[in-house]
Amino acid sequence: MTDALSKLLKERDYILTDGATGTTLFNMGLQAGDAPELWNVGHPDRIRALYQVAVEAGSDLFLTNTFGGTAARLKLHNAQDRVFELNKLGAELGRDVADNATRTVVVAGSVGPTGEILEPIGSLSEAHATEMFHEQAEGLKAGGADLLWVETISAPEEYKAAAKAAALADMPWCGTMSFDTAGRTMMGLTSARMAALVETLPNPPIAFGANCGVGASDLLRTILGMKATGTERPLIAKGNAGIPKYVDGHIHYDGTPELMADYAVLARACGATIIGGCCGTTGEHLRQMREALDTREIPPVPSLDQITAALGAFSSEADGTETASAPTRATRRRRRS
């Protein structure tokens, strides 16, 4: 196995990742409560199409359809004994799409949270979490994933467990957390504390950063917090396409492709090297993000006012720093909705 992502990072100033797995699959017919990973078996053509959307939009890297691929998550669908099979298939479908592309495309094996709360607050031990992540990692490795992509993590203990699993599987990895509670993860971690955590790991990730959360503005404020620590590792920004709203019985994200193009350029200005979208991000969003990154001049590091003027208000005053809160931005209106 070669470290395809590190090689690409040496060749490119930035890397565009993919968009939303869930949004795309729901548009293909996935029903709420269904396990997307079972489509790796039942609808492989749709999973190939999912990956192809990213490739055709210009993504240099896409995530496999394995976000909920641990035994803990698959148990909800009586599929806990199919971890290796489902993850291997998800990676194999991705490998096939990437290998048939006309340029280098990296296949990142998606590893989401277990859904359990780790000790000492919860009952899941770090050792058991590591075991579950390792089982998933071995399936992704067997299917041809280039690396593990740990995402949407909230607890430092779970992040450490995923890092240990990557080491056990002898795979390179990246890891993002979701900062959605006043600039902190659900378990209270700040951007600065995440950056510090990364440096304590025996096998730190190739790149780290933030995904999902509550909107593009908040995510970029988190990236600024990480960059301010002085880290020299590549940073990942994978924000949602706006804010979710319930419209006509469905969840709709209000971020337009034009807004996400602005977000992508601002993400580069904030210090991110690996940029993509999360919930609500479609192929059209990605196409415009790619064009903006390829053609626009990267501006100086933006102020918080410049971020909110372009992308909309922050969800809270708190910026996730240890000692201070960001100035209020809650009264600003979103420029594009």
Digit-coded pLDDT (tens) for 139-174: 999 999 999 999 999 999 999 999 999 999 999 999
Q: Is 18 helix (H, G, I), strand (E, B) or coil?
A: coil
Q: How far is residue 319 from each of residues 77, 211, 219, measured CA to CA in Å?
A: 37, 16, 10
Closest by CA to 212, choosing from 233, 236, 196, 229, is: 236
Cβ atoms of 263 and 311 within 8 Å: the answer is yes
Distance CA 182, CA 325 (A): 9
Strand partners, 251: 246
Specify the fold of 4-311: TIM Barrel (3.20.20)
pLDDT-based confidence at residue 320 (cuts at 50, 70, 90): confident
Residue 326 has pLDDT above 60, yes or no: no
Q: How far is residue 313 from each of residues 75, 113, 118, 162, 329, measured CA to CA in Å?
A: 39, 28, 33, 33, 5
| Number of other CB atoms surrounding residue 53 within 10 Å | 20
Average pLDDT rounded to a whole number, residues 111-135? 96
Tokens of 117: 């709360």
Tokens of 44: 């492989």
Digit-coded pLDDT (tens) for 262-274: 999 999 999 999 9
Tokens of 227: 């960059």
Q: How far is residue 17 from each of residues 59, 206, 227, measured CA to CA in Å?
A: 5, 15, 20
Phi-psi region of 297 (alpha: psi -120 to 50; beta: other; left: phi over 0): beta
* 162 CA to centre of own chain: 15
Q: Is 154 helix (H, G, I), strand (E, B) or coil?
A: coil
Average pLDDT rounded to a whole number, residues 242-256? 73
